[in-house]
Structure 1
Amino acid sequence: MNIKSLLLGSAAALVAVSGARAADAVVVAEPEPAEYVRICDVYGAGYFYIPGTETCLKIGGYVRYDASVGSRYNGYDGVWNMDKRTDKWQGTWAKTAKIVLNVDTGQETEYGTLSTHIGIKALNSTSRVDGDLAYIAGGTPGYSTTTNSAGLDSASIKLGGLTIAYQDSIYADWTGYAGAAVNNSFIEYGDYANTNQISYTFDAGNGFSAIVGLEQGYSDTIDSYVPHVVLGAKFTQGWGGISGVVAYNSVQDEFAGKLRADINVNDQFSLFVMGGIGSDKHRGTTDKDAYSYEYKPWSGAWAIWGGGQYKLNEKATLYAEASYDADKDAAASLGVAYELVPGFVIKPELNYTRWGNHAGPSGSSLIGGDGVTVAPKKSGWGGVIRFQRNF
């Protein structure tokens, strides 16, 4: 080996060592292991574990838009006007936009499932009156009224069978309200407005369950230390179910109850019928007056509701409903719920309503814009179309 070869080899070695040391000097941080959200399917679809906890969380709700048209007496508040040229009650339109955001949690404990629910809502409604009415503030023809509101829709804490909540009355919720129609409460079936309440539900695990609850009330808010009392029981199976509920109104010292039967004829066709009865000792002095209270908001001693649904195909469901009470009030609805895409439902609906032995929501005749007393029309047709995105 000569001197030249030795020098070249040494230089190459130094370059290699220097390169290795330079590479060692650059430290590349290892990526942190990704922590993916874990699905929680214990409480149904949409739940996931809050990272670092054993609590499951679900965020959901809906955005809804309704547009209705028809007579004042078709069950849509504010949808009316009087044309003094013809002295006829005519229909006009009303529109409502509503959003509800729900946040639900669930966690298993030694005392059973601990769950919470929070519902926040916001509402905007607009109606138009084209007639000239002194009855309405100023009686200005061709004006619109708009209202906006936002607030707490519902809130609850549940541990096992115990529920402490601000939500729909047990009296309305336990028997499943009154069908799928948008206009299903012309003849009201119970106080579905929110109320403070505490209840305990017993679930036997074989389809039978029962509930006992104490409520503050919404319109008949308790004025003593005695709360409203609600009791209910139900039995559900694959063929359908039977449910019943009774309530004591401590303010009015009145009792009311409802019984409902649901029948699943087959996978496409289902029916329901529900009847309500209540004490009526505060009934008015005339035959045309009918006393109502929080658990018996219908007129007269009894009322009945019924209807059915038929699944036409994967997207469309046809429904029809009707109701009637002891004071000869009547209502009927026919509509289609069409799921255009998953989560987006369009629901056009036709309605007919009739007031029976009393004048209707006004209580008596109204004063027209020309100062002439006019008798309100007791029946009418109307319609509504609903767009709703559920998520």
Structure 2
Amino acid sequence: MNIKSLLLGSAAALVAVSGARAADAVTVAEPEPAEYVKICDVYGSGYFYIPGTETCLRIGGYVRYDIGVGDVGSFDGAKTADHQDGSENSTFQKHTRFTLKTWTGQETELGTLKTYTETRFNFANRNAAVYYNTARNSGVSLNFAWIQLGGLRVGKDESAFNTFIGYAGNVINDTIVPYGDFDTNVVQYYFDAGNGFSAVVSLEEGEGVVGTIDSYVPHVVGGVKYTQGWGAISGVVAYDSNYEEVAGKVRVDVNLSNELSVFGMFGYGTDNNLDDPTNAIDAHDRGFYKIWGGNWAFWAGGTYKFNEKTSFNLQVSGDQDKNYGVAANVAYDLVPGFTVTAEVDYDHFGKFDEWVSGADVVNFTNADKKNSVGGMLRFQRSF
């Protein structure tokens, strides 16, 4: 056998072996295509499609830390007892909050199906008996949890008496003179004409001992609004079914320039039946909607933007009982999503003797001041 024959034979053997192995090769299945999260830009930034559905979801919230000094948050500020000798001391009011928010949206044959939830987790110090001020977990609250299909909304919300017409100013303590209670279960219908006109009708349950409805008859709120580039005009009327009283507010918002916007709001309510001396709030003619003193009250203020990062906010308020408040702050966006706000507040209580008479003191500890001043520094990271 010569070398040429040997080489040809070896080549033939290799081909035969290779063919046999190819016949025995294992076929590997193609991998399933990965389903990546897709951005949903139908309802604004931050939404994404829940995998396998047509529902868009957004998750957000904020972390907040407040430092209060003086008479902020209670009538006579934060008080505590000295741990060594028991004497009374003033102290900071500290409040930390984590808020988790969710939004969903989906288009259906009956209109847009939306939900919104907001849950707040709090840790704070507050006044207690004999000025024993302790820092502790101060509660978890479900502030919003509603479903809306088209214009129909049901669930936990804040009263349309406040949300539809708008909250007061861009200040931290905007309720020095209160403008309405907030938490309630609702059945609401919103109408948007598309030309600047909108309206709402809201059936509400109220909350708390005084505010919660006492029969099958709900509280009723109705409102109308006209919005244009220059600002808006709006009004709401509320019927308190517990006491058969009526309250209303009208508001004007005006954008004077790109930097300056102002607002004015006026409230009026009846109080003929708000005279139950067994409830502290009723004893001062205050119900679920007309929560200010006397029949009328006002709130006014504005915002001036120095630049993209810095704004000045002011609010003044007062009512028929000669309660007055002023709140002013400067808010600065240190970096996108992180805002530091420094605020100063002044309170004047008109019917002072009523507020501090025995068991009628409401939400205030050691109420021995007719005029009070305080300040607050707020750090907030929103996401």
TM-score using structure 2 length: 0.87
Partner residue of 1:116? 115
Equivalences for residues 334-353 of structure 1 within 5 A: 334-353=328-347
Partner residue of 1:333? 327
Q: Distance in 2 between matches of 1:41 and 1:224?
A: 44
Q: CA deviation at 1:210?
A: 0.5
Q: What letter matches 2:193 in structure 1?
A: A
* Aligned residues of 2:70 and 2:76 also touching (Cα < 8 A): no
Partner residue of 2:85? none
Gaps of 5+ in 1: 84-88, 129-135, 367-373
Q: What letter matches 2:45 in structure 1?
A: A
2:245 is equivalent to residue 254 of structure 1? yes
Equivalences for residues 81-230 of structure 1 within 5 A: 81=79, 91-127=90-126, 137=129, 139=130, 143-192=133-182, 194-219=183-208, 220-230=211-221
CA 41–64 in structure 1, closer or farther in 2 if over 3 Å, else same: same
Partner residue of 1:376? 368
Gaps of 5+ in 2: 82-87, 278-282, 361-365
Q: What letter matches 1:209 in structure 2?
A: S
Residue by residue, what CA displacement relative to the aligned partner does 1:252-288 show, whole Å, maximum 9, x if unpaired? 11100001111111211111111111002146699xx
1:323 maps to which of 317, 322, 336: 317
Residue 263 of structure 1: SS of its match in structure 2? strand
Residue 92 of structure 2: SS of its match in structure 1? strand
CA 283–196 in structure 1, closer or farther in 2 if over 3 Å, else same: closer
CA 52–93 in structure 1, closer or farther in 2 if over 3 Å, else same: same
CA 360–335 in structure 1, closer or farther in 2 if over 3 Å, else same: farther
Partner residue of 1:86? none
Q: What letter matches 2:191 in structure 1?
A: F
Q: Distance in 2 between matches of 1:98 and 1:228?
A: 31
Residue 53 of structure 2: SS of its match in structure 1? coil
Q: What letter matches 1:69 in structure 2?
A: V
Q: Distance in 1 between matches of 2:320 and 2:354?
A: 14
CA 268–21 in structure 1, closer or farther in 2 if over 3 Å, else same: farther
* Aligned residues of 1:302 and 1:325 also touching (Cα < 8 A): yes
Q: Distance in 2 between matches of 1:151 and 1:81?
A: 25
Report percent identity of matched pairs.
47
Q: CA deviation at 1:361?
A: 5.1
CA 375–213 in structure 1, closer or farther in 2 if over 3 Å, else same: closer
After TM superposition, the structure 1 stretch with the greater mean CA deviation from structure 2, 142-151 or 52-61, is: 142-151
Q: Distance in 2 between matches of 1:360 and 1:181?
A: 28
CA 77–8 in structure 1, closer or farther in 2 if over 3 Å, else same: farther
CA 111–382 in structure 1, closer or farther in 2 if over 3 Å, else same: same
Q: CA deviation at 1:155?
A: 0.8
1:302 maps to which of 283, 296, 304: 296
Q: CA deviation at 1:75?
A: 3.9
CA 69–151 in structure 1, closer or farther in 2 if over 3 Å, else same: same
Q: Distance in 1 between matches of 2:148 and 2:287?
A: 29
Residue 39 of structure 2: SS of its match in structure 1? coil
After TM superposition, the structure 1 stretch with the greater mean CA deviation from structure 2, 227-236 or 350-359, is: 350-359
Equivalences for residues 261-276 of structure 1 within 5 A: 261-276=252-267
Q: Distance in 1 between matches of 2:174 and 2:199?
A: 26
Residue by residue, what CA displacement relative to the aligned partner does 1:56-76 show, whole Å, maximum 9, x if unpaired? 1111111111111102xx444
Q: CA deviation at 1:78?
A: 7.2
Residue 104 of structure 1: SS of its match in structure 2? strand
Partner residue of 1:3? 2
Q: What letter matches 1:379 in structure 2?
A: N
Q: CA deviation at 1:247?
A: 0.2
Q: CA deviation at 1:154?
A: 1.4
